[in-house]
Amino acid sequence: MRCFSVKLLKFCVFLVFVFLISCDNPKNPIPYKYVDITLDLNKPEFIELKAIGNIVEITGGISGIIVYRSSTNEYKAYERTCTYDPECERIELNEFKDKMVHNCCGSEFSLTMDGIVYKGLAELPLINYKVIYYQNNNSLRILNQ
């Protein structure tokens, strides 16, 4: 009888441990959508990306994509769907264009720090797309990682 109680206790501890781990790792509620976009940075619609710190908004992904030039040869691309409430309107840039804000849940995300959450209800950062910069022809390729 004592052996059964010890086994039951171990099993219960294991179940609690699994439950706690699953609660600490929220799953991203945003569905997967294939992305493979090439931008010719020589085109006039992408002139803003000539300067570090500037952004352009493009179609693609689920709710659109924000492309940010973070350094001379590095660009970042973020999905405009909030990781807290993907059903509500898309994320917008704030007036200073240094953060992305979701008006529904109040979450704010960093442009400069890989889309991490500054404040609000969201726990997960924005979806980051892989960006490859081709210096030889001045183009970007944006795709799922």
- With respect to residue 57, please indicate whether it lies within any of the assigned structural domains: yes
Query: The domain that contains 128 carries what CATH number?
Result: 2.102.10.10
- With respect to residue 27, please indicate whether it lies within any of the assigned structural domains: no
**Amino acid at position 140, single letter:** L
- With respect to residue 3, please indicate whether it lies within any of the assigned structural domains: no
Q: Which residue has the higher pLDDT, 135 or 7?
A: 135
- With respect to residue 136, please indicate whether it lies within any of the assigned structural domains: yes
- With respect to residue 130, please indicate whether it lies within any of the assigned structural domains: yes
- With respect to residue 4, please indicate whether it lies within any of the assigned structural domains: no
Specify the pLDDT at position 5. Answer: 61
Percent of all residues in the chain with a pLDDT value above 90, rounded to a whole number? 62
Domain count, the chain: 1
> 47 — phi, psi (to 5°)?
-60, -30
The pTM for the full model equals 0.78
- With respect to residue 17, please indicate whether it lies within any of the assigned structural domains: no
pLDDT 10s digits, 100-115: 899 889 999 999 899 9
- With respect to residue 56, please indicate whether it lies within any of the assigned structural domains: yes
* Contact residues for 30 (Cβ-Cβ < 8 A; gap 6+): 62, 79, 81, 83, 86, 127
